[in-house]
Amino acid sequence: MKRVVVVNGPNLNLLGIREPHIYGTRSLKDLEEIVRARAKSLDLEVSFYQSNHEGEIIDFLQEHAPGSAGIVINPAALTHYSVALYDCLQALALPVVEVHISNIHAREEYRSKSVTARAARGVITGLGFAGYEMALEYLAAQQ
């Protein structure tokens, strides 16, 4: 069975509590359930991870992404400045889909710049939790 890695960055543990007008009222646990259900229907195994720490995310990816069919990542604030995460994604040389719950282009100017997106096949932004499901569909359809 194909395996994919789904990673969420800083403050996404606060989904449901954090700025619900932007990120909605559902929790990270709800997101994990949605991701696992969609993955199951696509015959994908999932390694699901969230951390508030850049280095821990990089350690997780280095350990768990090799051998997987690809990465779905919402780098959260790391999107906008983490060259270290960008380098990690490049080094892994796997299909990456970057996902944002909110539309990063419709918010503060500094959010519209993604340094990690250059390492991604594509970016889904602004479609809420559905973006993760679409990213899984994309990875499931790859050879």
Nearer to ligand DQA, 18 or 40 (CB): 18
Nearer to ligand DQA, 101 or 135 (CB): 101
49 annotated active-site:
no
Rg over alpha carbons for the chain, rounded to the nearest Å, is 14
* Nearer residue to ligand DQA within complex by CB, 64 or 111: 111
| Site residues for ligand DQA per CB under 6 A | 11, 74, 76-77, 79, 100-102, 104, 111
Least Å distance between CB 74 and ligand DQA? 5
- Per DSSP bridges, beta strands 44-50 and 2-8 are parallel
| String of DSSP letters for 68-81 | SSEEEEE-GGGGGT
Cβ atoms of 122 and 70 closer than 8 Å? no
Question: Is residue 132 flagged as an active site residue?
Answer: no
Cα first-last separation, the chain: 13
Q: Which residues does the annotation mark as catalytic?
A: 23, 100
